[in-house]
Amino acid sequence: MFTQLPIEIIEHILELITRDEINRICKTCKSSYYKSLPFLYRHLELGYHSHIKQLQQGIVVNGYLKQVIQQHTKQLTLRSQQNSNHWRTHDLISILGPQPKIQTIRFCDFRALSTDLIHRTVSVLPQVYSVEYHYCHIIYQSATRTLDTTNSTPHTSQVKQVTLQWTDFTEKCIPFILFKNLIRLELGSNRNRYDGVNEMLVDTIYQQCPALTHMIITLPQVSSSVLRRTITKYGTQLQHLSIKSDSTSTLQAVAAHATELQSLCVRATADHCRLDYALLDILCMCPQLKWVEVKSQGLERHVHDVVWQVLGGNEAQEMLSKRKQVEENGEPQLSVHVSVAGSIWFYTVSEEALQLRSHYLHSMQGYKKQEALKSIMLYQHDILKIKSRLHSC
């Protein structure tokens, strides 16, 4: 029945279901196998030597499998199960072909991922667009000196996106985990294993990646002065920005310099000051904004009355009531203070959590913190109403 459907409908179904379900469909009949295999191998994951050898043997025996992998595989995940840094690039070429179509390369669970391995891998993927590091510890390897540290070599110039999640790195690694022509950079939380390195990375982003337009920074231990300096350097070039803010000065830098922003996400961590007026300045000074998201454990402190009045609803009324109560009582704090060591930005996480890839939020403690974190979304029509109300005041 499935194989008798029009090919367009079959492809749409295969787009919606999981890889396990596609795998089961492949085993039902020969026709299903030929129609489903390209979808099954869009994402290829390699880890154990035995699996790699089996796949190498499989493409020798099965010409269709070889054709599918070389033509349809767009994502490649390398896991450090047994291989550590002993990946051989000719093994990848033997599977993917001399001109692989890989667009995204993902390194996962490497306890010691060398910069040499990163660049050797990227160098054999001529169409790679995005490089991701998940749950890795990146180390510098002297063999990397043979590469151009300006990151402008032909095999890296096509990389436009880099993502780091729960990944630590040394100071020497910074020039090798970033690429000169990046337009999107996501620096997620890590364990901050090396003191000062996170801040050093953020402080050198502009030098390493002058073309960035989309920047997401949730790294711990990055000072507001470094964030301000980075935002100022990029200025109107920035289109999307996602940062944490523990002071009004960071948001003032956004309003003053990043005036062409189209989207903004702010995680307000300031317990000693209010960010409500600074956020209003951004709404007024950035006319291209299509949406703004504000996350905080004390939204009532960081979102102005005008915003709540425009949003309306029960939650808005509750927040307005809290703000009024605080103003009447003269209390500087509107929510329970969360210490830096236990904040939502996860300054530390156990070795076991990293090795087992157990996300912090899956723990009961993390779950409770996430429950306390609230957010609001302002869309373009909300922003226009807020600006109109401000102008009429």
Angstrom distance (rounded) from CA 393 to CA 391: 6
CB-based burial label for 165 (10 Å; 0-12, 13-18, 19+) = middle
Angstrom distance (rounded) from CA 198 to CA 255: 25
Using the 8-state DSSP alphabet, how is residue 210 labeled?
Answer: T
Using the 8-state DSSP alphabet, how is residue 171 labeled?
Answer: G
Between CA 111 and CA 119, with CA 115 as vertex, the angle to 5 degrees is: 125
Angstrom distance (rounded) from CA 180 to CA 160: 9
- The answer to whether domain 43-222 has CATH 3.30.2420 is no
Angstrom distance (rounded) from CA 297 to CA 44: 40
pLDDT tens for the 393 residues of the chain, in order: 677 777 778 777 878 878 788 878 887 888 888 888 999 999 999 988 888 889 999 999 999 999 999 999 999 999 886 555 566 778 888 999 988 999 999 999 998 999 999 999 999 999 999 999 999 999 998 764 444 444 445 557 899 999 999 999 999 999 999 999 999 999 999 998 899 999 999 999 999 999 999 999 999 999 999 999 999 999 999 999 999 998 899 999 999 999 999 999 999 887 677 888 999 999 999 999 999 999 988 888 888 899 999 988 888 888 888 887 777 776 544 333 333 333 333 333 444 444 444 444 444 444 444 457 889 999 999 999 999 998 876
Check if the beta carbon of residue 238 is closer than 8 Å to that of residue 210.
no
Angstrom distance (rounded) from CA 140 to CA 168: 12
* Residue ranges of domains in the chain: 1-40, 43-222, 260-326+370-393
Strand order in the sheet with 137-139: 113-114, 137-139, 168-169
